[in-house]
């Protein structure tokens, strides 16, 4: 018994370290991708000096953040001011730990599950920690003792809390179909292309995607950082690696949200016409991971695409959309899904 326990602890520790390194490295290179995509849309070259094709630019940025002078303004609430970037970065990392990044992989004769935390209430776990993330931004804005930072923090807290309601409600349709809160089970039920939940939940997917844009404070909902009104918003008074941590947390959240969309609506690690769930060989395990990563990268690109395509909303328009349209549409879609599940049994299992 003790041997099995220690084996599990070692396995999860190693997987956790690899996952953390992959997420942090991915977040660094998503910043480079953001700048490259921006340059393509604006007919520019983009970063190309640091290393071949500019691939060492994230390393150069990281060194710059660490070496820049670390300034703390006067009259800030120092404890909360220093704590805020960490609070912003930790929740998306915990969410990443609950996402199934693959089925399982056979290594050294042992089947290893490619999910750090496998909970039967995985969706609740995700939304619980997603709601905590707002505290980092809110504390950063309030503790900075700056009116622009405070306004950015207030905007962010009201925006994230408002759109969490629509985002969480939109997922209920998937839960009605799946009959479980476990992310792993939700993925396993999407074992063919026709069973992807996006086909049976198109409205739910649309609401979840739009609400995710607001949750991430991405254009057209980037009001907490509206530079023409608030300088830099909640992180105006931050410098050096504290500012860098805020930026990294945004991109970690972008990666995690894209992976979550892929998991809930696009089959997660499943590959159409390939039976990965019943095969634990190394090759099939790697194929599952690649499948989820490709879907995640696609949605990251879509988020970036929208940034350079749509104009920014006014704040009253943002709040009206969340409270007067998306939330009501999400509730109506729950009722429609429930009726379809009860009236047409084939709708739940599809074909």
**Which tens digits make up the pLDDT trace of 167-226?**
999 999 999 999 999 999 999 999 888 899 999 999 999 999 999 999 888 888 887 777
Sign of the CA dihedral with 15 first, then 174, 271, and 291 last = negative
- The pTM of the full predicted model, rounded to 2 decimals, is 0.93
Q: What's the average model confidence in pLDDT over 67-92? A: 88
For residue range 255-314, list pLDDT tens digits in order.
Answer: 999 999 999 999 999 998 888 877 777 888 889 999 999 999 999 999 999 988 888 888
pLDDT for residue 295:
97
User: To 10 degrees, the CA torsion angle through 74, 78, 83, 88?
Assistant: -30
- pLDDT at 1 > cutoff 60: no
- pLDDT at 120 > cutoff 80: yes
pLDDT for residue 55:
92
Instruction: Give how far Cα 186 sits from Cα of 146, 206, 291, Å.
Output: 45, 18, 16
- Mean of the per-residue pLDDT values of the chain: 88
User: To 10 degrees, the CA torsion angle through 185, 191, 194, 198?
Assistant: 30
Extents of the domains making up the chain: 61-349
List the single range of 10-24, 114-128, 223-237, 288-302 with lowest mean pLDDT: 223-237
């Amino acid at each position: 018994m003790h041997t099995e326990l220690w084996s599990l602890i070692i396995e999860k520790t190693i997987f956790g370290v690899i996952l953390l390194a992959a997420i942090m490295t991915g977040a660094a290179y998503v910043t480079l991708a953001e700048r490259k995509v921006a340059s393509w849309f604006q007919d520019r070259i983009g970063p190309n000096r640091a290393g071949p094709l500019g691939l060492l630019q994230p390393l150069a940025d990281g060194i710059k953040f660490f070496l820049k002078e670390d300034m703390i303004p006067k009259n800030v609430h120092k404890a909360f001011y220093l704590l805020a970037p960490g609070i912003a970065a930790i929740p998306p990392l915990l969410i990443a730990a609950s996402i199934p990044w693959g089925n399982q992989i056979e290594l050294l004769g042992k089947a290893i599950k490619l999910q750090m935390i496998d909970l039967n209430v995985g969706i609740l776990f995700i939304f619980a920690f997603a709601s905590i993330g707002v505290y980092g931004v809110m504390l950063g804005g309030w503790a900075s003792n700056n009116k622009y930072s405070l306004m950015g923090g207030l905007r962010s807290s009201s925006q994230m809390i408002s759109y969490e309601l629509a985002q969480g409600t939109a997922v209920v349709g998937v839960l009605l179909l799946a009959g479980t809160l476990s992310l792993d089970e939700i993925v396993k039920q999407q074992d063919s292309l026709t069973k992807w939940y996006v086909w049976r939940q198109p409205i739910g997917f649309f609401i979840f995607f739009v609400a995710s844009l607001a949750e991430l404070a991405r254009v057209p909902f980037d009001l907490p950082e509206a530079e023409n009104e608030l300088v830099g918003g909640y992180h105006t008074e931050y410098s050096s690696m504290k500012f860098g941590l805020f930026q990294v947390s945004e991109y970690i959240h972008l990666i995690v949200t894209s992976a979550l969309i892929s998991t809930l609506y696009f089959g997660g690690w499943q590959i159409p016409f390939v039976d990965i769930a019943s095969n634990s060989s190394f090759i099939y395990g790697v194929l599952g991971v690649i499948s989820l990563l490709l879907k995640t990268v696609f949605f990251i690109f879509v988020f970036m695409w929208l940034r350079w395509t749509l104009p920014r909303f006014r704040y009253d328009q943002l709040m009206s959309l969340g409270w007067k349209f998306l939330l009501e549409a999400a509730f109506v879609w729950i009722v429609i899904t429930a009726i379809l599940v009860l009236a047409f049994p084939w709708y739940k299992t599809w074909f």
